[in-house]
Amino acid sequence: MIVCSGLCKSFGATAALADVTLELRAGELVAVVGPSGCGKTTLLRILAGLLEADAGEVARSGRVVYMPQGDSLLPWRRTLANVTVGLELAGVADARGRARAELERFGLAGFERRFPRELSGGMRQRAALLRSFLAPSDALLLDEPFAALDALTREELREWLLEVWQAQRRSVLMVTHDVEEAAFLADRVYVLSARPARVRGIVDVSPVRPREPEQLLGPSREIRALLREEHPVKGHRRASRTVTPAP
């Protein structure tokens, strides 16, 4: 579906990516975690075809939809018209009818005719997420899709994302700072280093779903251990650890 190998990218004298290799196979849900500012968004933009790498290769198959961190709603369109943009561009019949069926699940029922300036930040983010999932695609690239949401809504939409993914089996690659979120949702988690980003390790998560809280403990510990090796706690010696290098 999407495979990249040896990606490198710099902006002037600042190196963002250094030899990043990653794979998103058909029907997978994969997460990427890493320190703030390490180059995760740059990686997604390259995978989406919006930015060129300085070195390395990217292979894609099928249609890819990219959801950036900002909601990017069109200020002159009302909520319903905003969430149907992808459907309209794809020529889908009854685009607004399909969107209306999901508005309540996303907490947007009753706000169909509001302009983006009339919505809260969380509501704008929910509208952007709905727009991305309604758009016909084979793969979704999501950059911190739940970051602007309150804890309760975030938990509800995680469950919804998992439900939709299991029903549709579209490939999903998402960036998140939430370790538990990555362990709860993903089949596989790529842990990146500080800038310039390299893949420090890959954590495989049990394919069994739904996952009970105790099933998340092991993967969460592995992810945190890899992140702590990037930022050891001051005053504590870095623990010796053998990490399987990414292929």
DSSP string, 91-149: T-TTHHHHHHHHHTTTT-TT-TT--GGGS-HHHHHHHHHHHHHHS--SEEEEESTTTTS
Identity of the amino acid at 141:
L
Q: What is the pTM of this model?
A: 0.85
Span 28-66, pLDDT tens digits: 999 999 988 889 999 999 999 999 999 999 999 888 999
Confidence of residue 2 (pLDDT cuts 50, 70, 90): very high
Residue 116 pLDDT: 95
Residue bearing the bigger pLDDT, 242 or 111: 111
Q: What is the mean pLDDT of residues 205-209?
A: 83
Kindly report the CATH number that applies to the domain delimited by 2-230. 3.40.50.300
How many other C-beta atoms are found inside a 10 Å radius of the C-beta of residue 238?
9
Q: What are the structure tokens assigned to 70, written together?
A: 């900002």
How many other C-beta atoms are found inside a 10 Å radius of the C-beta of residue 242?
4
Q: For the chain, which residues make up each domain, given as ranges?
A: 2-230
Give the rounded percent of residues in the chain with a pLDDT score beyond 70.
93
Mean pLDDT of the chain, nearest integer: 87
Q: What share of the chain is helix, strand, coil (3-state, %, to 5)?
A: 35, 25, 40
Helix (H) / strand (E) containing 16: strand 14-24
* CB contact at 8 A, 127 and 108: yes
Confidence of residue 242 (pLDDT cuts 50, 70, 90): very low
Residue bearing the bigger pLDDT, 67 or 160: 67
Beta bridge partners of 64: 139
Sheet strands (E) in 26-88: 29-33, 55-60, 64-67
Residue 243 pLDDT: 46
Does 69 have pLDDT greater than 60?
A: yes
Half-sphere exposure of 36 (CA within 13 A, CB side): 1
